[in-house]
């Protein structure tokens, strides 16, 4: 429902040494991340990472804009980060047909938006590196679109909103956000509030302002992974990005007041659905060095994941739940972690709640099994590494630390913190996070006919 960092994405990227800008960093002795890389810090604020990884003759080209729904602070202007995920494919005066150019290169390209960032990526043959860099740097500096083109895309986004806005999951997600947050911009989803999306066709001038404030080199991290020559690629980065003028304007993100009492909401869904019960607790921001933050991510897996007692009982053995999901990834700012259950029998909701709340109390009161914790940490470190087979996967694996810290070097601290966690640390995290005063409990059920 809410885009969150996966547990394994953060634990596995641990073999980085501290990178001096412009110098090649090999694998640190005893480290996990197996690829050497080079970090560049340009005078205009752009940071770039060049990484040897993936198949010969292929590159993945990733541009991470550290702006997402979180940055939409102006009233009536939600949804613009997601809007630019679309508009960035509109082209420039130099390359008015972006899609046509990338098709000729045989490149696969796409983008996605979340709470904290917008990421654009392309996978192509390494022989086209310079053409891709010319194309990508040009659209980030010189995106060009008419008011007519803007209105057309805004209409398409309204269609996208209408297509997904009335599903049970979307309604549940909106209810959770609007109940849990009173000030912070995590209160609205990535696609935006309906009234704002409907009003977007009138926001042409505002859209230009949004682009010029946020699409600046200080707010972007470039990652080029694959069959790259470091010296040549570094020279190309300077050639194509040095002229990008800085000017990033950081928004004043509202601070969410401390929650002091449990909040509840109930939704009657007009369509067909099984009941859903969602427990959501206020949690800290992601940090590579804060034990509570790292232990909170581990807590979701050990207390409520597929190897936990409650999952085995309610999902596998008794089949009282269609699914049980623990979303315990953290965001750039203090966020929510969630425990979501889809209940097979509506009459069983009270008993299921009792079982889940018992599991929450157990996480606060008892120490997790030593072996389960060790196995979970091992899976976080090595399970992801086994999937680092392509340049694209390597690039994607770096998005989380880039968004939260602006660097990939933070993963070394994260790994050290992860390795140091004890069963007491997991219990302490449960006692700090899984508390009623920070809980938002939302239940969604199918509405009765005629109601």
pLDDT for residue 387: 75
Residue 413 reports pLDDT greater than 50: yes
Average confidence (pLDDT) over 392-398: 92
Average confidence (pLDDT) over 10-25: 46
pLDDT for residue 17: 41
Determine the straight-line distance between the first and last CA of the chain, rounded to whole angstroms: 27
pLDDT for residue 1: 30
Q: Each residue of 237-270: pLDDT tens digit?
A: 999 999 999 999 999 999 999 999 999 999 999 9
**Per-residue confidence at 289, pLDDT binned at 50, 70, 90?**
very high
pLDDT for residue 323: 96
What domains lie within the chain, and their CATH numbers? 7-241 (3.30.830.10), 263-394+404-446 (3.30.830.10)
pLDDT for residue 22: 62
306 vs 324: CA distance, rounded Å = 9
pLDDT for residue 238: 98
pLDDT mean across residues, the chain: 91
Q: Each residue of 211-246: pLDDT tens digit?
A: 999 999 999 999 999 999 999 999 999 999 999 999
Residue 10 reports pLDDT greater than 70: no
**Per-residue confidence at 92, pLDDT binned at 50, 70, 90?**
very high
Token pair in block for residue 376: 């979970």
Average confidence (pLDDT) over 405-420: 86
Residue 13 reports pLDDT greater than 90: no
Identify the three-state secondary structure at position 120: strand
Q: What is the dihedral of CA 262, 268, 274, 279, to 10 degrees?
A: -10
64 vs 220: CA distance, rounded Å = 6
Q: Burial, 96: exposed, middle or buried (Cβ in 10 Å; 0-12, 13-18, 19+)?
A: exposed
Window from 5-19, 120-134, 409-423 with minimum mean pLDDT:
5-19
Helices 370-378 & 291-304 angle (0-180, nearest 10): 110
Identify the three-state secondary structure at position 99: helix
Q: Each residue of 18-59: pLDDT tens digit?
A: 444 566 665 555 556 678 899 999 999 999 999 998 889 999
Residue 210 reports pLDDT greater than 80: yes
Q: Which helix (H) or strand (E) holds 410?
A: helix 410-420
Average confidence (pLDDT) over 301-325: 97
Residue 109 reports pLDDT greater than 80: yes
Percentage of the chain exceeding pLDDT 90: 84
pLDDT for residue 384: 63
Residue 4 reports pLDDT greater than 90: no
pLDDT for residue 28: 55
| Beta bridge partner(s), residue 38 | 24, 50
pLDDT for residue 245: 98
pLDDT for residue 21: 54
78 vs 72: CA distance, rounded Å = 6
283 vs 331: CA distance, rounded Å = 9
61 vs 99: CA distance, rounded Å = 16
Closest listed residue to residue 401, CA positions, set 287, 325, 232, 308: 287
Window from 14-18, 169-173, 440-444 with minimum mean pLDDT:
14-18
pLDDT for residue 179: 98
Average confidence (pLDDT) over 317-343: 97
């Amino acid at each position: 429902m809410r885009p969150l960092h996966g547990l394994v994405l953060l634990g596995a990227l641990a073999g980085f040494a501290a990178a001096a800008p412009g110098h090649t960093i090999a694998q640190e002795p005893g480290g996990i991340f197996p690829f050497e890389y080079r970090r560049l810090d340009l005078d205009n604020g752009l940071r770039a990472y060049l990484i040897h990884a993936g198949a010969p003759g292929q590159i993945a080209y990733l541009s991470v804009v550290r702006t997402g729904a979180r940055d939409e602070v102006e009233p009536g202007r939600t949804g613009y980060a997601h809007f630019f995920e679309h508009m960035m494919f509109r082209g420039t005066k130099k390359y008015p047909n972006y899609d046509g150019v990338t098709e000729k290169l045989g490149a696969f390209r796409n983008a996605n938006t979340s709470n904290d960032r917008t990421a654009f990526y392309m996978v192509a043959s390494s022989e086209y590196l310079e053409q891709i860099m010319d194309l990508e740097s040009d659209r980030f500096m010189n995106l060009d679109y008419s008011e007519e083109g803007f209105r057309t895309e805004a209409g398409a986004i309204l269609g996208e909103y209408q297509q997904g806005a009335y599903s049970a999951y979307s309604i549940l997600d909106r209810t959770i956000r609007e109940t849990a947050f009173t000030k912070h911009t995590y209160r609205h989803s990535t696609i935006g509030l309906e009234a704002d999306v409907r009003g977007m066709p009138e926001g042409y001038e505002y859209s230009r302002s949004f682009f010029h404030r946020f699409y600046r080199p200080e707010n972007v991290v470039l990652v080029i992974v694959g069959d790259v020559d470091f010296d040549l690629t570094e020279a190309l980065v300077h050639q194509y990005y040095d002229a990008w003028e800085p000017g990033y304007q950081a928004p004043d993100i509202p601070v969410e007041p401390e929650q002091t009492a449990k909040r509840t909401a109930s939704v009657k869904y007009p369509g067909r659905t099984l009941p859903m019960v969602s427990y959501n607790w206020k949690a800290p921001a992601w940090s590579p060095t804060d034990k509570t933050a790292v232990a909170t991510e581990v807590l979701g897996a050990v207390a409520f994941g597929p190897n936990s007692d409650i999952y085995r009982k309610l999902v596998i053995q008794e089949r009282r739940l269609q699914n049980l999901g623990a979303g315990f990834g953290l965001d750039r700012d203090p966020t929510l972690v969630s425990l979501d259950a889809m209940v097979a029998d509506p009459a069983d909701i009270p008993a299921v709640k009792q079982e889940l709340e018992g599991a929450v109390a157990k996480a606060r009161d008892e120490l997790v099994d030593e072996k389960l914790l060790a196995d979970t940490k091992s899976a976080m470190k090595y399970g992801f590494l086994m999937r680092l087979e392509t340049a694209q996967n390597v690039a994607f694996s770096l998005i989380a630390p880039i968004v939260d810290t602006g660097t990939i070097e933070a993963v070394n601290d994260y790994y050290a913190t992860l390795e140091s966690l004890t069963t007491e640390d997991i219990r302490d995290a449960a006692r700090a996070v899984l508390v009623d005063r920070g809980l938002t409990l939302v239940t969604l059920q199918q509405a009765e006919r005629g109601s």
